[in-house]
Amino acid sequence: MQGMEQLGLREPAHQVSPRAINYWVVNGLISGVITWAILFAIYWFVPDSWGRWLGPLFILIMAANLIDVTLEPIIRYRRTRWEVTGEKVFAQTGWLSRDQRIAPLSRVQTVDTHRGAIMRLYRLANVTVTTASAAGPITLKCLDTDVADRVTAELARITGQTTGDAT
């Protein structure tokens, strides 16, 4: 009888861009600053009697935000992977849990590239592959822009050769 690890799904071949770590840190800092400003405003305007229990709660929220900014990007970088072959698109994401998605290229309907404002600063892009699946699209996150362009072009070429309506 084979071991369970032999039966498991292997990881996709490619890691995201190393610049994704800095991108995720900056996103965490932006959301952290907004969260901290809201917490400060709430704390400033509530009665003093509420401060006794709100203060410790806010400290816990701030500590969670610091973990989000310091640990999440490193763990996420190690676990976020992708692969495109002649037959499938394969993505793995997550930092607390792991999500793996595989779609056959024969089911691909559209391929989109997204570059947000902060992503452009780090020369990163997401490639979203929409398939004929109820599970929704597969997103290859934080690829170098040149890699994202090549993947998009390759997927467009491969899926353009497929006949039918991808359903």
Mean pLDDT, consecutive 10-residue stretches, the chain (167 aa), reads 53 95 95 89 80 82 89 94 92 89 89 96 97 87 97 88 57
| Domain 81-160 fold | PH-domain like (2.30.29)
Confidence at residue 70, expressed as pLDDT on a 0 to 100 scale = 92
pTM recorded for the entire structure? 0.82
Distance, CA of 27 to CA of 118 (rounded, Å): 8
Q: What are the boundaries of each domain within the chain?
A: 19-75, 81-160
Confidence at residue 167, expressed as pLDDT on a 0 to 100 scale = 52
Instruction: Write phi, then psi, for 123 (nearest 5 degrees).
Output: 55, 50
Separation of first and last alpha carbons in the chain: 37
Q: Which helix (H) or strand (E) holds 75?
A: helix 72-79
